[in-house]
Amino acid sequence: MQTRSIGNSELKVAPLVFGGNVFGWTADERTSFSILDAFVDHDLNFIDTADVYSAWVDGHQGGESETIIGKWFKDSGKRHRVVLATKVGKLSTRAGLTAANIAAAVDDSLRRLKTDYIDVYFSHYDDEQTPLDETLNAYQKLIKAGKVRVIGASNYTGERLDEALKVSKDSGLPAYQILQPEYNLYDREGYETDLEPVAEPRNIAVVPYYALASGFLSGKYRSKADTQNKARGSRVEKYLDARGLRILDALDEVAKRNDTTPATVALAWLIARPSVTAPIASATSVAQLESLAASTRLTLAGEDVDLLDEASAWQK
């Protein structure tokens, strides 16, 4: 498996990230363990979670995903095979990016994850009420303490990311090495116009979330009826327009040419993007994981990329 660097750090990752939001939500503990074992068996090594996963589920408080991953680390002994990312700032009981909150939240996460260190610690959302230097100073302490190796930004605007990078440079503080934006074949404009111009020239790694547009790009949602009684159904309805259906047609065509699935093609398109390090995708079964892992072995032909680019062009 050819690996890619996380920014200017020493961390090397496979070109696909597993999104751990499903652990404890749509995948129970036993299923989660099976998926995690299969993931590393494919020589994939980057797992993303957050302290807030899955607080949106009735009866959950957050930390469920981290807890399952931690149990898997303990039972499997495979912590050394994983580059682990988690996040701080969105959980209601640990909200924001103040120094005090970060210090408390990281210890909560480490306890749940049953590990001594976090490879990549993300600011889950920008906190404009907290000075950037306060947040970055807090991260510097965690790095010096060995609790965190690399820091990243999620859900930042290009302007705020640029501002944070300037604070790091001017103050000698740790800089964000990795960015987690929303980006996929349908949701292109925001990233390509606002964030890519900031991240790419600075060698910031990019790991897009919603890489399959909440499952829409897998092709399993073709009409509003397909979204009924599904965990992510309400998120998918917005994609069921003329452009979305045009993208599905293109994915079907390219998948047929390559004897694979639309999901595999959609991820391979992201992997091939020059500014993308590794897309984030989730699965709720080992069988689903297979089509995700296949994307790391699929090299799209130029005519395939052109067809997908044209179908998904947001200027239209």
120 inside domain: yes
How many Å apart are CA 207 and CA 163, to the nearest integer? 20
How many Å apart are CA 2 and CA 299, to the nearest integer? 13
Kindly indicate the confidence band of residue 264, based on its pLDDT and cuts at 50, 70 and 90. very high
pLDDT for position 229:
63
Quick: pLDDT tens for 78-109. Answer: 999 999 999 999 999 999 999 999 999 999 99
Quick: pLDDT tens for 143-190. Answer: 999 999 999 999 999 999 999 999 999 999 999 999 999 999 999 999
pLDDT for position 262:
97
Residue-number span of the structural domain to which 160 is assigned? 4-221+262-300
Does residue 316 surpass a pLDDT of 70?
A: no
Quick: pLDDT tens for 293-313. Answer: 999 999 999 999 999 999 999
Residue type present at position 290: E
Burial letters for 168-186: b for 16+ Cβ neighbours within 10 Å, e otherwise? Answer: beeeebbbbbbbbbbbbbb
Quick: pLDDT tens for 227-236. Answer: 776 666 678 8
* DSSP secondary structure, 53-114, as one string: TTTTSTT--S-HHHHHHHHHHHHH--GGG-EEEEEEB-SGGGBS--HHHHHHHHHHHHHHHT
Token reading at 150: 């690399």
237 inside domain: no
229 inside domain: no
254 inside domain: no
Q: Which of 62, 61, 59, 68 is nearest to 23 (CA)?
A: 68
Quick: pLDDT tens for 15-68. Answer: 999 999 999 999 999 999 999 999 999 999 999 999 999 999 999 999 999 999
Return the CATH number at 181.
Answer: 3.20.20.100
Q: Which of 44, 50, 41 is nearest to 23 (CA)?
A: 50
